[in-house]
């Protein structure tokens, strides 16, 4: 098992190096001079230009600039935001829990609804339940989620007035930040009303972000189940006279779960993309909205580091999924 993990790690090293090169190249690919781009509307005197050029290391050879960049990252130095003049990593860490809370809640919804829907659709293949579920799943999969979010706001926030339109929690609540997750921090602070407020803020964005993963998981679970239900060992289990529900739960589902776990893992990258749109629509203070704001404010240092950090996080999650995959499926480890 350790050997498997080491092999996986060795395989992603070139990709990690590539990601650092890509994010390093980003600022240098921007049209125009990077110093002038940073100075933007304020302009810069020739003397100040030279100072800045030296300060940011732009007077060094390009390979040395790259090594300095990677060296900085390894020491946790991701640069200073051009917009707020604070270290980028600080901003990132402040906002990151909001995105994680949203994404976890979304994936929870997607798994809790998608897997049972997929199983029942497969068992009742061809029934009206199967057809409707798969029709809804394909619609969800085809959904422009930014529009879907607006529709939900119109209906639930505007027409029914059930949920707030934006933000993470009502401004009247304040409690110390422990985990960064509003749902947990409100309970730690002993404010159940804050928990309710946070939940009401969370529910619509989470549903929007869950839409596509939910559709994908339901479809994948169904096809994995259909494949497994046709296998010999399921037929044997049935022939032995086992309860149909036991055949499905024990023999079929455990084996169908393997591709489904991979699918769930693959959703993480998509969730990060979806978070950009969802957070923008609901003014959710997470890293998706932060990236969009940074791009529109031309805060390229934040964009560069955000790009790098997000890619590294997605890779780390995919690695963990690969390892989990090997844990539940011993055949992979031997290959």
Is 153 near other proteins (CB under 8 A)?
yes
- Tokens linked to 297: 């404010």
Q: Are 169 and 182 in contact (CB under 8 A)?
A: yes
Tell me if residue 87 falls in helix, strand or coil: strand
Question: Which of 216, 310, 321, 326 is the binder for other proteins (CB under 8 A)?
Answer: 310
Residue 335 binds to other proteins (criterion: CB under 8 A): no
List the x/- string, 4-33, binding to other proteins by CB under 8 A.
----------xx--xx--x---x--xxx--
For the bound state, the minimum distance from the C-beta of residue 138 to other proteins, rounded and expressed in Å, comes to 6
- Nearest-angstrom CA–CA distance, 180 and 255: 36
**What pairs with residue 80 in β-bridges?**
87
Backbone φ and ψ of 87, nearest 5°:
-60, 135
Nearest residue (CB) to other proteins, 80 versus 270: 270
Out of 116, 158, 192, 244, point to the residue binding other proteins (CB under 8 A).
158
- The three-state secondary structure class of 222 is helix
Contact indicator for 322, 8 with CB cutoff of 8 Å? yes
Tell me the C-alpha distance between 60 and 251, whole Å.
63
For residue 186, the minimal CB distance to other proteins (Å) is 28
d(CA 65, CA 79): 13
- Close Cβ partners of 310 (under 8 Å, ≥ 6 residues apart): 272, 287, 291
- Give the residue with the Cβ less far from other proteins, 26 or 58: 26
Q: Residue 139 interacts with other proteins (CB under 8 A)?
A: yes
Binding of residue 34 to other proteins (CB under 8 A) = no
Pick the piece of the chain touching other proteins (CB under 8 A) from 48-56, 139-147, 169-177, 320-328.
139-147
Task: Give the 3-state secondary structure of residue 152.
Answer: helix
| Residue 83 binds to other proteins (criterion: CB under 8 A) | no
The answer to whether residues 224 and 264 touch, using CB atoms and an 8 Å cutoff, is no
DSSP 284: -
Residue closer to other proteins, measured from CB, 58 or 146: 146
- 56 near other proteins, rule: CB under 8 A: no
Task: Say if residue 184 is exposed, middle or buried (CB neighbours under 10 Å; 0-12, 13-18, 19+).
Answer: middle
Query: 């993480």: which residue's tokens?
Result: 268
Identify which of residues 100 and 270 has a Cβ nearer to other proteins in the complex: 270
8 Å CB contact between 268 and 314: yes
Choices 2-10, 151-159, 180-188, 251-259 (CB under 8 A): range interacting with other proteins: 151-159
| 181/195 Cα distance (integer angstroms) | 10
Binding window for other proteins (CB under 8 A); candidates: 170-178, 185-193, 246-254, 267-275: 267-275
Interaction pattern, residues 187-226, with other proteins; x per rule: CB under 8 A: ---------------------------------------x
> Which residues 285-304 are close enough to bind other proteins by CB under 8 A?
291-292, 295-296, 303
Pick one of 67, 147, 162, 233: the residue that binds other proteins (CB under 8 A). Answer: 147
d(CA 233, CA 254): 12
Q: How many residues bind other proteins (CB under 8 A)?
A: 46
Name the site residues for other proteins (rule: CB under 8 A): 14-15, 18-19, 22, 26, 29-31, 135, 138-139, 141-144, 146-148, 150-151, 153-154, 158, 226-227, 230, 269-270, 272-274, 276-277, 280-281, 291-292, 295-296, 303, 307, 310-311, 314-315
């Amino acid at each position: 098992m350790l050997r498997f993990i080491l092999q996986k790690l060795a395989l992603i090293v070139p990709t990690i190096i590539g990601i650092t090169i890509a994010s390093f190249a980003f600022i240098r690919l921007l049209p125009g001079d990077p110093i002038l781009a940073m100075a933007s509307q304020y302009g810069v005197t020739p003397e100040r230009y030279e100072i800045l050029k030296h300060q940011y290391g732009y007077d060094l050879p390009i390979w040395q600039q790259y090594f300095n960049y990677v060296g900085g990252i390894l020491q946790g130095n991701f640069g200073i935001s051009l917009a707020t003049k604070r270290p980028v990593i600080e901003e990132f860490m402040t906002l990151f829990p909001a995105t994680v809370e949203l994404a976890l809640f979304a994936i929870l919804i997607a798994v809790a609804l998608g897997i049972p829907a997929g199983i029942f659709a497969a068992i009742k293949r061809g029934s009206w339940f199967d057809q409707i579920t798969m029709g809804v799943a394909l619609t969800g999969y085809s959904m422009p989620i930014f529009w879907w979010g607006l529709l939900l706001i119109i209906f639930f926030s505007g027409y029914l007035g059930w949920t707030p339109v934006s933000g993470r929690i009502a401004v009247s609540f304040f409690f110390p930040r422990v985990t960064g997750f509003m749902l947990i921090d409100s309970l730690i602070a002993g404010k159940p009303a804050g928990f309710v407020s946070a939940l009401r803020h969370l529910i619509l964005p989470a549903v929007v972000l869950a839409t596509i993963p939910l559709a994908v998981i339901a479809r994948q679970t169904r096809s994995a189940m259909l494949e497994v239900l046709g296998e010999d060992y399921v037929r044997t289990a049935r022939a032995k006279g086992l309860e149909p529900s036991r055949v499905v739960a024990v023999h079929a589902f455990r084996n169908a779960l393997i591709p489904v776990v991979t699918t769930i893992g693959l959703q993480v990258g998509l969730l990060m993309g979806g978070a950009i749109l969802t957070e923008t629509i609901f003014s959710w203070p997470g890293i998706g909205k932060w990236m969009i704001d940074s791009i529109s404010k031309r805060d390229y240092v934040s964009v560069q580091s955000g790009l790098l950090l997000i890619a590294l996080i997605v890779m780390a999650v995919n690695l963990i999924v690969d390892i989990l995959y090997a844990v539940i499926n011993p055949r992979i480890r031997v290959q």
